[in-house]
A and B are shown apart, each in its own frame.
Chain A
Amino acid sequence: MPSIAKSPASTPRWEDLPLASQPDPVQLDNIKAQLDLVLLALEALAGIGSEAILQAATELNLESVIADRVSLWRLRQSSPLRKGQGRKKLDVEEARSLVLIICHLAKQQQELIRRAVALLEQLTEQNREPHQASLLGDYLDAFSNTYQERMEDGEDTSPDVLTHLALKLLIDLLFYGGPGGPRRLWLALLDRAQDPRQQKSEVSKQGSF
């Protein structure tokens, strides 16, 4: 576990994203998959596409890492969960850049994310299905559709599982958009990647790696 340094949460910096040792390929794959999923959630919720992502890259001075649509596409495509698995290896710098970009976007969409979570809490409190709120319903639909389209196991994953996945990602986005977001996302990625249980379940769920 990398050590955590508490630093001002104003601008995300590399120091916020510490790395004790180079993740092995399996871990990197795991990280790729997770990043892709988070971006998927952002896309489904706020319609964030490559344009917005590249825009964010520019704002954060990360164009050197994520220069254009093509490289972005290949980056995301490199996720092991995707259909027609790309062979592109995600390197650590690219991973960090994506982390910063994701949190930047999550911050921009804070209001929307917050509203969605509030709705979720309300509906759950009232024991109603999340789909009943249009904001959530649209999100869940978009998420499921896109997931099924793009992911290798898309067709095989049950709607319930997808719903839960989408909702967990939604709540995660809330925290990624807050102060210290990049650090939290980064640590979560590393933690999950290092946890053998996680990897197993990922593998067994996804079936391929």
Chain B
Amino acid sequence: MPFSNSVLRRYTPPTCTLEIAAKDSPLSRWASRPVLKNLRFQLSFDDPRLPQDQQVSVRGDRTQLEALCEVVEAYVQNFLDQSPARLDAALLVPNTKIDSTDELDESSQHSPATPLSDEPRLSPDTQDDAANALQEERHRFVPLRVPSQLDAVNKTGISLQPKGLLSHNLSLGTLANETSSVVHLSTLQLFDLATALDEYAAEALAIPTLNRPRWITTPTGWARSAAVVLIALGVTTSLVRVLEGPSTVQTSAPTTSESASSQDQQQVAVQISPEPEALTPFPSPPGTLEALPPLPPPGSATPLPNAIPTVPVPVNPPRPSAGGSTGRPSVTVPPEPILQGGDRSIAIPEAASRQSAPSVAANSRIAAENEGQRSLSQSADSLPELSPADTDVDNPAPTASSDTAFDTLPQVAEARSYFQQRWQPPAGVNQVVEYSLLLNPDGSIQQINPLGEAAGIYLDRTGMPLLGEAFVSPLPDEQSPRIRIVLRPDGSVQTFLEAR
């Protein structure tokens, strides 16, 4: 994983291996031990006595690891709490009749080295006693230390049940993969598992998602405003330069017609800026889409009608542009020569014109690109936030529609539905959680770039697939596109393709 200050730990008792990958949190310096965030773990039950194909491996996040720790610790303590005096022969033999009363009959295609001895010759009353003892003990297996931990355990469905004294069944709950949902552990394996988990717990502290106070985010807002203003200035300058050039320069845009107010121009400029970097398909209202085709490609010599080029740039790539819905955007549709004080803005979907038809856009892109792409896209993202304050561009609620203009690649839609199924905004989230994902040609993720603090904090709540894991369908022509994922506090999800 591409973490800048990543932490890797391995705990290797003889019969299992616990690997932790996490990021070191800045909080570590104030804690007595390393504080980890974005934690992922892999636990392999790799007892060398087991044949390879019976060695189970599971992966999960912080919540699952904590649940596992809690379950194992409680189970071990419970196990030890049983006074020797109450034990009967039955409990020592792993495969007794008692087991049938367990709720263990989940499909376990695995039975690694589980002793399958014949049923013991027990007298009925001994069996009953043992069964009762086991029954009572089972009630005590519920970990009740801390409500949040109990919550984690409940959520993940991880649990341990005994099969006598020497065999234990670990139900994997949400950790289960396609090959196994239950792992059979001998006492030694249980001990090793407990040891690895104990050592991990003693060494580090993994923090849950944090709820940042509102006031902390304000500065970002200011930064965004500042960035936008700067960019607007820069773009305007280049526009002006362009305007003074020969009119045959198509990429030159904006013949900023006099009809346009300078304010509009500003806005146009502002809106243009996001384009260069994040020229990903914008969800634009179907209506305006049609307006696009007529846009002359930059290369053409057709001069744009002398009206303000509707910088079809919807202010924010991530959010469906003010689109025709309620748009008050001052941007107008390109094909429509006249600046209609427009209620419509068009997001130039990349599909419609990769070359960014509006020459304006193209131009600004050129200019903007020189200014550093990253910041542009960042500011682009931030633009929407500003709209209420600075621009007229409206930011209506995101269209969660399934068919948007951003879906130039089917994978974009696939990505969106993937996250829509999984994204459940944690309580207290009040910002967008955004990632830039670089895909492999086979559709798995090559790189995850969280954008902004919230993205880093909530990564493990997004259901983000692991690198290399199947995510979307494979891409044609060995492409490796970048997809932006935007997860909103209201639960909606947007995705779009980022410019190459």
Residues on A lying within 8 angstroms of B by beta carbon are: 4, 6-10, 34, 37, 114, 117-118, 120-121, 124-127, 160, 164-165, 167-169, 171-172, 174-175, 178-180, 184-185, 187-188, 191-192, 195, 197-198, 201-202, 205
Contact B83 A179 (CB under 8 A): no
Contact A121 B92 (CB under 8 A): no
Contact B80 A175 (CB under 8 A): yes
- Taken residue by residue from 73 to 89, chain B's Cβ proximity to chain A (1 for < 8 Å, 0 otherwise) reads as 10011011111111111
**Chain A residues in 8 Å Cβ range of B79:** 175
Whether B117 is near chain A, meaning CB under 8 Å from some CB there, is: yes
Residue of A8, A114, A126, A172 near B202 (CB, 8 A) is A8
Contact B117 A117 (CB under 8 A): no
**Chain A residues in 8 Å Cβ range of B1:** none
Contact A168 B84 (CB under 8 A): yes
Residue of B85, B186, B198 near A9 (CB, 8 A) is B198
Residue of A9, A117, A184, A205 near B76 (CB, 8 A) is A184
Task: Identify 16 new A-B residue pairs, CB closer than 8 A, beyond the known A7-B202, A125-B94.
Answer: A37-B84, A117-B191, A124-B166, A125-B115, A127-B118, A164-B92, A171-B187, A179-B199, A180-B73, A184-B80, A188-B77, A191-B77, A201-B83, A201-B85, A201-B86, A202-B85
Shortest CB-to-CB span from A207 to chain B, Å, is 12
Q: Complex: how many Å from CA A131 to CA B211?
A: 59
CB-CB nearest in chain A for B80: A188
**Chain B residues in 8 Å Cβ range of A198:** 83, 85-86
Q: Complex: how many Å from CA A9 to CA B89?
A: 34
Contact B166 A120 (CB under 8 A): yes
**Chain A residues in 8 Å Cβ range of B201:** 6
Contact A164 B198 (CB under 8 A): no
Contact B202 A10 (CB under 8 A): yes
**Chain A residues in 8 Å Cβ range of B186:** 121
Whether B210 is near chain A, meaning CB under 8 Å from some CB there, is: no
- Taken residue by residue from 168 to 207, chain B's Cβ proximity to chain A (1 for < 8 Å, 0 otherwise) reads as 0000000000000000001110010011001101110000
Residues on B lying within 8 angstroms of A by beta carbon are: 33, 73, 76-77, 79-89, 92-94, 113, 115, 117-118, 145, 165-166, 186-188, 191, 194-195, 198-199, 201-203
10 nearest A-B residue pairs (beta carbon): A125-B115, A179-B198, A188-B80, A168-B84, A127-B117, A191-B81, A165-B84, A8-B202, A9-B202, A198-B83
**Chain A residues in 8 Å Cβ range of B87:** 164-165, 168
Shortest CB-to-CB span from A32 to chain B, Å, is 14
Residue of B86, B117, B188, B194 near A124 (CB, 8 A) is B117
Q: Complex: how many Å from CA A164 to CA B113?
A: 23
Q: Complex: how many Å from CA A180 to CA B76?
A: 11
Contact B89 A184 (CB under 8 A): no
Contact A124 B93 (CB under 8 A): yes
Chain A at the B interface: SS class: helix
**Chain A residues in 8 Å Cβ range of B80:** 172, 175, 184-185, 187-188
Contact A168 B165 (CB under 8 A): yes
Asked whether A8 and B33 contact (CB < 8 A) given A121-B115, A124-B93, A125-B94, the answer is yes
Q: Complex: how many Å from CA A127 to CA B95?
A: 10
Shortest CB-to-CB span from B347 to chain A, Å, is 52
Q: Complex: how many Å from CA A191 to CA B78?
A: 9
**Chain B residues in 8 Å Cβ range of A197:** 86
Shortest CB-to-CB span from A174 to chain B, Å, is 5
Contact A121 B202 (CB under 8 A): no
Shortest CB-to-CB span from B82 to chain A, Å, is 8
Residue of B165, B188, B195, B199 near A118 (CB, 8 A) is B188
Q: Complex: how many Å from CA A168 to CA B489?
A: 53
**Chain B residues in 8 Å Cβ range of A125:** 94, 113, 115, 117
Contact B188 A192 (CB under 8 A): no
Q: Complex: how many Å from CA A7 to CA B92?
A: 32
Contact A164 B89 (CB under 8 A): yes
**Chain B residues in 8 Å Cβ range of A191:** 77, 81
**Chain A residues in 8 Å Cβ range of B117:** 124-127
Query: Which of A8, A168, A172 has its CB near the most chain B CB atoms (within 10 A)?
Result: A168
Q: Complex: how many Å from CA A174 to CA B115?
A: 20
Contact A124 B191 (CB under 8 A): no
Contact B194 A192 (CB under 8 A): no
Contact B81 A178 (CB under 8 A): no
Shortest CB-to-CB span from B373 to chain A, Å, is 46
